[in-house]
Each structure stands twice: as C-alpha cells, then as structure tokens.
Structure 1
Amino acid sequence: MKNLKDLMTMKQEGIKISMMTAYDYPSAKQVEAAGIDIILVGDSLGMTVLGYDSTIYVTLEDMIHHGKAARRGAPDTYIVVDMPFGSVGISHDKDMQHAITLYRETKADAIKIEGAHFELIEKCKLIGIPVVSHLGLTPQSVGIMGYSVQAKSKETAEQLIQDAMAAERAGAVMLVLEAVPSDLAAHIAERLTIPVIGIGAGIETDGQVLVYHDVLQYSTERKPKFVKIYGDFRPGVEALKTYHDEVRQKRFPTEDYIYNIQVMGENND
C-alpha cells in the first residue's frame, strides 16, 4: 500500500500517479487488482450509481456508506473520500465535525474538499486528517460555474495559481485540478511540492484521475472530452436480454444447472 511518502517520492522522481474512482466493494477490488495507486470515492457516485443528475444530492451518509464498501474491497490501496455538497461551508464547528466523521467512519487515508476552504484544510491538518484539495472545475459548484474549462483568462489563471499555493500552505497533501488549460496545470504542478492530479488538465500533472464508469463505458451518459475509453461494459445488456429470453422460453436452467437429487419419490407423503 502506498502512503503519502511514497506518493511524494513518485512526484520527485517523475513517476506518474494513477488515480481511479471506485464506489463499492467490487469496483474497488478490481481497481486494487489493477495496481492503481489511489482510489477516489468521489461524489460523482451521485450520477454513476445513485441516478442523480448532479453531485449536490449526495449526502454525508452516502459517502460514508460507499467509502466503507470501497475500503473493504481495497484494503491495501490509498483511498480518498469526498466531502459532499452541504458538508462544508456551514460553520467551522460543523465542517470539522463532518470531516472527522467521514475520515473516521470510512477509514480513509484522506478526505477531499472542493473549493477554497483553506482554513478548514489547516484545521484538519492540525488534528491529523490529511486533505486533498480540489480546484478548477468543482462539480459541487456547477450551478454557479457550469461545466466548462476554468481559468481561461490571465486573471482567473493567476487566481487559480494563488489558490493552489494557498491550499499547499494550509496543509493539503495533494491537489486535484479539473478542466483547466494544460499549460496552466503544468505550471502549478511545477510550483507545488505536493502531487498534483489532473482530470482534463493535460499530461504534465503528476498524475491522472478518471471515473471507473466512464473508462469502462459502464454508464450511458455523454463522456467529457478528457475521458478515454479503455473497456466496454455495454455488452452486459445483451447478456441480460439473453437470460431473460432463455427464462421465458424455458431454456434455462438446463441439466447442467440443476441439483438432481430425488427427494420426492412415489412413496413420499
């Protein structure tokens, strides 16, 4: 299992870090078997497994439930769990209570916080909770910023640089940059000492993260530009249709799938 020291060494040595989302026991088990460096239990589970059209409906209880399942599936992988919408930005006491609960209940290695919550990151560090910061496109704020590339002007690019540096100063152990120009992401990755993981942020970040359901075509939603398809789960629907047809047509189960033990003989009452 990789720890923060290992991940820092990978950054220093130029070894790219792989991160993949996983939301339950079987997907986490697969991701660990593939040797992926980090599992992210992201609030994107709202769309991929809970059927919502946004992350904002995902609750703290949802994240705890799925985080615990992923940990059972991947006991030897570094796991990061999202703080969902509504669990931060309330009050300092409530924010800390939610962070502590999520970290403790899921047995995660770190929690992830979207947006410029630098004081919360600092307070988490003081009590021993590692925090991954998430800047750029932050889906929990999509109602304000929309789904589009961020930091496209000189001014907004400079603000993102300052925010990234502030996250590191506050004690973030890692940074996720989403949907930002590749040259800007490269510049930030070079300036920070902590690993910078990109999603739609080019190849010069210290690592990459994608969504399990996207790369395997396990979902039918339209894929963002930055998603590359590595597998195809869609034939599963055809397999299910075949099962349905065989049941209807009395072609399943055949003798190969039956326990042929005679317990209802003629003399049985």
Structure 2
Amino acid sequence: MSKTDQDAAIRVRQKTSDRVLVAAGFPVLGAGAGFLLKLLAHWASTWPWIPWKGPVDLIAKAPEPAATIGSLVLGALAGVAVVVLAERGYVTVTIERDRITTDRGDSTQSAPRAAVSGVFADRKRLVVLGAQGEELIAEYKNEGADLPSIERLAEAFRTHGYPWLPDGDPYQDTYRRWVADMPGLPPGGNVLFKARAEALKKSEEKEIGELRRELARLGLVVHDTGGRQWWRETGAPASP
C-alpha cells in the first residue's frame, strides 16, 4: 500500500443503491397504502356499525377522481417522510490518518488517532474506544443510528492501520446488569438509569442517547440487551 493510499481520507456510509431503493420505494409503498386505505374505507362504510364512522364515511363519500388522487398523494408524502427520517439516521464514517469522525443528521463525533485504543462494530453499535475503556465515539442503533456495512468499516479502518477488534467489545465480560437502586454506582447514577429505562420502554431515541452520554460523564458505559441495561466503569469519565 502506497503512502498516498494511507493518507487519503476514506468515507464509509450506506451503499448508494440501498439509499436509492429506500428513497424510491417508500413513496411508492406509501401511495399504495393510501389507495388501499381508500378502498377499505369504502368497504367499511357499508358495515352497520364501526368505530370512527364519521371519518370513514368522509373518505368513502369523497368525489372521484379527487379521492383517489388525494389518497395516492397523501400516502406518497407519508413515504417521503419515512425517507427523510431514514436519511437523518444514516451514519457517515470518515477515517483519516490522524482522526475518526462520524456524522449523522446534525450530530458529529470526532476522536484523534492518538487517543484510540480500539474500534469495533456489530449490528447494534459502532464504538471507538479510548485508552481507559471510555467510548470516544459511539453510534447506537437504538439511538437512531443506521450503520454502514461492518465489512466495509473493518476494511476502511484496517487500511489506515487503526486497531480493529474483530471479536467485538473487549470489555463484554465486565458488564453488570443494572437493577433499581443497586449499590456501587456514582451519585446520580441510579437516577439516570431509571430515566433511561423509561426512555427505552417508550423507544425515545434522543432521550436514550442523551442519558447514555450523561452516564458517560460519570465514567459509566452502558449498552442494552433484550431491553435491559448493562453497565461497566471506565478508568476515567468521558470528556464532555
């Protein structure tokens, strides 16, 4: 490998073909769902009693071709909304000789190479570890992150000589399951875990991520399995 190859920045994100498929497919599926909803409303309006009879009758009695056109347009717009949300979740990883950066929506994370002790990824997360086990960069699926292919990430990090960890999280065996009011946590830790447990139940992606970062400031790393929170301590709290 030439020095030029090693110095060139590598950007990894979802394949263009996959993004195009999502961008084209969801509006079409949405339009189809809208048309199907119109047909179901016509059918349901013949029933002697149904919940929400007013809205159903309104849809069923709408004049044609406005009803069909409207159902198609509204369904397609719903599909476009899904595409916009998907685009905001795509994670772009930029790997340079001296720095790693991830971008997702309006969020950016960055870490200098000198601070990196290892990098790993699985279907649920991409993590860049520091020397004391802290997460310098963390992109989690349950926080809305849509990660690129693990194979492409591994190749890109290895190209620049970063310590890629093919076996995953080296601290996997040190995690403890959190239970309410458990001892051994820093002050405020249990409160944050309780709030995060509620956020997990409600699938509040933004809140889940913010509370994870609050726990990181206490020197705690948390990940989730089966809806339960597992944690470990680091050698030093993460930087704000």
Range class of TM-score, shorter chain: under 0.3
The higher relative CO (CA closer than 8 Å, separation ≥ 6) is in: 2
TM-score, with length taken from structure 2: 0.24
Which is higher, the Rg of structure 1 or of structure 2?
2
